[in-house]
Amino acid sequence: MFLVSNDMTATLPARSSLRLAAGPGEHVAVRCTEGELWLIRDGDPKDTALTASESFTLSDSGHIELYAVTTASLHVTRCRQGAGPAASAWRQWLRRLLAPPGRGFTGAGR
């Protein structure tokens, strides 16, 4: 199964798995709320075990496989670092468009 939403809570039956992918500039945090999970990260020879109340954050591009050793509940949160230059240009254009009449956009200091 692949994760597509930004925030998710799930329960995995024992001996089942969930694959998560983090894109460039994205952080994916996994919190085990019940049971036991194994985190298997692509390219990492060491697996990580999570039990209730423990968490793990994937802070760079890659994939992790979550394997439920026992029935396990988890919460996954995605967040993206700064939006980049394209979003900044979009915000400037939107400010110009929405500026009150007589308060034109000068481009400086905004």
Q: What is the mean pLDDT of the chain?
A: 79
CA distances in angstroms from 21 to 3, 9, 50, 95, 106, listed in the order given: 7, 16, 18, 34, 42
What pLDDT does 37 receive? 95
Task: Give Cβ neighbours of residue 62 (< 8 Å, ≥ 6 apart).
Answer: 21, 22, 41, 42, 43
Rounded Cα distance between 77 and 86, Å, is 24
User: Given pLDDT bands bounded at 50, 70 and 90, which one contains residue 4?
Assistant: very low
- Which amino acid makes up residue 25? G
Domains along the sequence of the chain with CATH = 7-98 (2.60.120.10)
pLDDT digits (tens, 9 = 90+) for 28-49: 889 999 999 999 988 888 889 9
- What digits encode the pLDDT tens for the residues 52-99? 999 988 877 788 899 999 999 999 988 776 555 555 665 666 667 666
For the entire predicted model, the pTM comes to 0.65
Q: What CA–CA distance (Å, rounded) separates 50 from 41?
A: 13
